Amino acid sequence: MKNSNIEIVDLWDHLLINPAEISTGSNTPYTVYGPFFKKFKGQLDKVNFDNEEDKDFKFEKLKDLDDELIESKLVTKSKTIFDEFLKNINFSGIGICPCRPGEIGAEKLLESFSSSNKITSYHLARDFPSEDGTSYLSGSLRFGTISIRSLWKKTLLLNLINEDTKKIQSIETWQKELAWREFYQHCLFHYPELEKGPYRKKWNNFSWNDNQEWFNRWSEGQTGVPIIDASMRQLNQSGWMHNRCRMIVASFLVKDLICNWKLGEKKFMELLVDGDLAANNGGWQWSASSGMDPKPLRIFNPYTQTKKFDPLCKYIKFWIPELSGINNSEIINGDISKLEKINYPSPIVSHNVQQRIFKTLYATI
């Protein structure tokens, strides 16, 4: 860029801490989130949250440039990329997506989340997909329309004005979610092979069924398991899915349908507005038990998850209107009679049966 007098400055503004600057006592990368978070928080005093010039970087004013010409070219190119994105995806419910484009949209989301009681009750509402309990800033972080430093600085300011212990704990719960993003980015930085396969190498020997019809039914939200179908329909129509639901559908694809987690990872990246390689990969490996999580085997029961996190079936009935007249207890227990169903399929698999099959296959590795 010498011909245009543009200085290129390379720094880790995408993250709070450079992955090369945080390690265990034995000088190795962290592979477990808990210890990572403790060390991570201890190093945050080194972070410049005020957007002032860092002592290691000097930004010089650009010279001899036609600002209007540059801005025009950048806007035109950005619009072309965005239009192409919408053309390829074509979400039918784009207005339903809670993420908002652009810097102004991101700032409004942050203001809404932090000025109301959403952030101070985040620990209570974040797991319920029918509630307005999350920040919806994941897309903004993915596209870089808001800085991670801005988000963390906001939590520090809120901590200063809140004296209620529960509110402070709630703010820390959101901080921990931001730190999960940081953790997965660090993992991919130190272990780039995660992009291609599992962290736990034994999973390379797992006998996946990879039933294409089952995978298609899962992708389309036609499995006959309400919480799975509601979640996938939200993704297909809006380009976004509640985080609790991401864990439920991922577990179902891997542990019930016994399909390779890489298939789900790819599908998510094709559709998610906030699709981020590191976070998506880390989340899928967590759900598949193939990643760095110290708990080797975790299986979600979709019906138990429904009872816990969508007990009134508001989320399910919004995304699956054909179930709007069905009794909640029948949806939760998975025993909807054929006579009551209107254009809604029966479950393609039995969770209890598939769980036993999966555990048998897991035992072989």
3-state helix, strand, coil in the chain (%, to 5): 60, 0, 40
CA count, 13 A, side-chain hemisphere, 93: 17
Q: What angle do CA 327, 127, 261 make, to 5 degrees?
A: 95
3-state secondary structure of 191: coil
284 counts as catalytic: yes
Same domain, 114 and 186: yes
pTM (2 decimals)? 0.87
214 counts as catalytic: no
Residue 255 is classified by DSSP as I
Residue 36 in any domain: the answer is yes
Q: Is the dihedral of CA 83, 87, 93, 99 positive or negative?
A: negative
12 counts as catalytic: no
Same domain, 177 and 261: no
- Catalytically annotated residue among 284, 286, 301, 319: 284
Domain end position, chosen among 190, 222, 240: 190
Q: What are the tens digits of pLDDT across the range 71-80?
A: 455 556 656 6
On the question of pLDDT at 58 being above 60, the answer is: no
Same domain, 330 and 270: yes
Domain end position, chosen among 163, 190, 217: 190
Residue 2 confidence (pLDDT): 62
Considering only CA atoms, give the Rg of the chain.
Answer: 22
Question: Per mean pLDDT, which of 55-69, 98-112, 123-137 is the most reliable?
Answer: 123-137
Residue 340 confidence (pLDDT): 77
Residue 339 confidence (pLDDT): 72
Does residue 6 contact residue 61 with C-beta atoms inside 8 Å? no
On the question of pLDDT at 91 being above 70, the answer is: no
Residue 338, domain extent: 201-363
203 counts as catalytic: no
Does residue 294 contact residue 32 with C-beta atoms inside 8 Å? yes
Average pLDDT, the chain: 88
On the question of pLDDT at 47 being above 90, the answer is: no
- pLDDT level of residue 250 (50, 70, 90 thresholds): very high
Long-range contacts of 311-318 (CB under 8 A, 24+ apart): 312/130, 313/226, 314/130, 315/128, 315/129, 315/130, 315/227, 315/230, 315/242, 315/245, 316/226, 316/227, 316/230, 318/130, 318/230
180 counts as catalytic: yes
Residue 1 in any domain: the answer is no
Q: What are the tens digits of pLDDT across the range 25-37?
A: 999 999 999 999 9
Stretch 134-157: mean pLDDT: 94
- Catalytically annotated residue among 208, 209, 328, 330: 208
> What Å distances lie between residue 155 and 131, 151, 160, 307, CA to CA?
22, 7, 9, 32
Q: Rounded to an integer, what is the distance from CA 354 to the centroid of its chain?
A: 26
**Of 85-89, 187-191, 222-226, 252-256, the least confident:** 85-89
- Catalytically annotated residue among 174, 203, 240, 261: 261
Q: What are the tens digits of pLDDT across the range 158-189?
A: 998 888 899 999 999 999 999 999 999 999 99
Contacts of 91 (CB under 8 A, 6+ apart): 97, 236, 237, 238, 239
Same domain, 256 and 333: yes
- Catalytically annotated residue among 180, 218, 286, 319: 180
CA–CA separation, 194 and 190 (whole Å)? 9
Same domain, 359 and 321: yes
Contacts of 40 (CB under 8 A, 6+ apart): 16, 17, 22, 179, 182, 183
CATH code where residue 279 lies: 1.10.579.10
3-state secondary structure of 49: coil
CA–CA separation, 217 and 224 (whole Å)? 9
**Of 71-80, 97-106, 213-222, the least confident:** 71-80
Residue 55 confidence (pLDDT): 43
**Of 60-69, 303-312, 329-338, the least confident:** 60-69
- Catalytically annotated residue among 162, 243, 328, 330: 243
Does residue 253 contact residue 343 with C-beta atoms inside 8 Å? no
Residue 64 confidence (pLDDT): 44
Q: What are the tens digits of pLDDT across the range 261-277?
A: 999 999 999 999 999 99
- pLDDT level of residue 63 (50, 70, 90 thresholds): very low
Residue 336 confidence (pLDDT): 87
Q: Which of 144, 174, 103 is nearest to 12 (CA)?
A: 144
- pLDDT level of residue 62 (50, 70, 90 thresholds): very low
Domain end position, chosen among 157, 190, 223: 190
On the question of pLDDT at 83 being above 70, the answer is: no
Residue 11 confidence (pLDDT): 66
Residue 5 confidence (pLDDT): 75
On the question of pLDDT at 323 being above 60, the answer is: yes
Same domain, 210 and 255: yes
Query: How many domains does the chain divide into?
Result: 2
294 vs 90: which has the higher pLDDT: 294
Residue 95 in any domain: the answer is yes
Same domain, 207 and 180: no
174 counts as catalytic: no
